[in-house]
Structures are given as structure tokens and as C-alpha cells.
Amino acid sequence: MEKVRARYGLRLPSKVLMADYDAKEGDLYIRFREAKRTEGEPTDDGLVIAHYDLQKRLAAVEIIRLSDL
């Protein structure tokens, strides 16, 4: 997570509610807070998608192909 924080300048919450790793695809999804709806914003390189709740708080991070990070 330190690589994500440093590379993309995201302020990541320290509390993790849930993490899910898809070994077949190599994707990692980390949820920091409950949200009924989120809006995803991909980074310029497309390796990370930051999901924000309606109050614009970071609710989750999705890392596509973790090994490429």
C-alpha cells in the first residue's frame, strides 16, 4: 500500500474493512468504508482505481494486476 500511496498521492485510510485478492487475474480490492454507491476514478496508467463515496471520501482502492505495480 505504501507504493500506491507514494506513486499516486492517495491518502489511504489506515482501517481496512475488507480485502479481496483474485489470484487468477492478480487484482486486489481493498475496502476502507461502507458506501451505498461509489464513483471510480482510474489513475493515468490505469493500474489503480480509487473509489469515492458520495461525500468524496476514499471508500476503496482497486489495484489491477498487482504484479505490475
Q: pLDDT (tens digit, 0 to 9) for every residue of the chain, 69 residues total?
A: 899 999 999 999 999 999 999 999 999 999 999 999 999 999 999 999 999 999 999 999 999 999 888
Range(s) of the domain holding residue 53: 2-68
Global pTM reads: 0.90
Nearest Cα neighbor of 49 from 34, 35, 28, 33 is 28
**Total tally of structural domains belonging to the chain:** 1
Q: At a CB cut-off of 8 Å and minimum separation 6, what does 6 contact?
A: none
